[in-house]
Amino acid sequence: MKNIFLGSFFSFLLFAAYSQEEKIIVIDRGSGKQYKSDLKSDRKLVTNTSVLKFSPLQMVVGEVNFGYERKIDEMSSVEFEFGPTLSNVGLRVEDNHFTDPFGTTTQETSKIGFFGSVGYRFYPLDNSKVFNGFYVSPVFKYRLMNFGLRDYSENLKDTKGNESHAYFTFNFGFQRWLSDNFSLDFFGGIGLGYEAISTYNVAVGYDGNTQLYTYYWDKNVYSGVRFLVTGGIKIGIGR
């Protein structure tokens, strides 16, 4: 539900940004000159060849998200995203959750992972060019979230598990330039994702030879495909 809300919210922002009207200002990076076109919009059109980006809202889901968009031709570009991931992100350290709700003997702790993505962008409008305005973008993304597991009874040493995700989304967005070097990139999209979770629970077994109970980590693996709704905003610095 939260992802659907975010997607709807940023779709509204995208529509609002695109629907305003003024003269288009085109900034030529070669000569540094500006000129106004006859088309109406409030957008600055720039002729940068690359954009460095950061997605601040992705920190909510544990990603420190950096991006790089590179021009291919006048209507298309390729975008890469990369960075570390942090599991069990909460407002307090105590938000690291227990995986045994009845005995509260096992707790997940934060670990570092990574993610990477690649996407192709196409800017289809006749009155625009690459890096400017409305775009569509298929994106493939892989993310690994590692987490630690602690046995509070101290019968077992700490171990670790992970969540791996492979996503394909079809995004749409609007990149708006507030100056010739600074942009805001609103986007939303839908897609499919494959997820595999490898985790452990504390288990107890009885040893008939020693007539003692023994503790061990019992591994559990879950996997499946789910529907995705995504959305966000990226801050860009153009070159």
The CATH number for 211's domain is 2.40.160
36 falls within a domain = no
62 falls within a domain = yes
- Which residues does 144 contact at the CB level (< 8 Å), separation at least 6? 85, 113, 114, 115, 162, 163, 164, 165
pLDDT in tens, the chain (239 residues): 444 444 444 444 444 444 444 455 555 555 555 545 444 555 568 889 999 999 999 999 999 999 999 999 999 999 999 999 999 887 655 555 555 544 557 888 899 999 999 999 999 987 778 999 999 999 999 999 999 999 888 888 999 999 999 999 999 999 999 998 999 999 999 999 999 999 998 888 888 888 888 888 999 999 999 999 999 999 999 98
23 falls within a domain = no
39 falls within a domain = no
Contact criterion met (CB below 8 Å) for 30 and 47: yes
The overall pTM is greater than 0.85 = no
Counting beta carbons within 10 angstroms of the beta carbon of residue 97, is it exposed (0 to 12), middle (13 to 18) or buried (19 or more)? exposed
59 falls within a domain = yes
4 falls within a domain = no
Range of the domain at 184: 48-238
**Structural domains in the chain (count):** 1
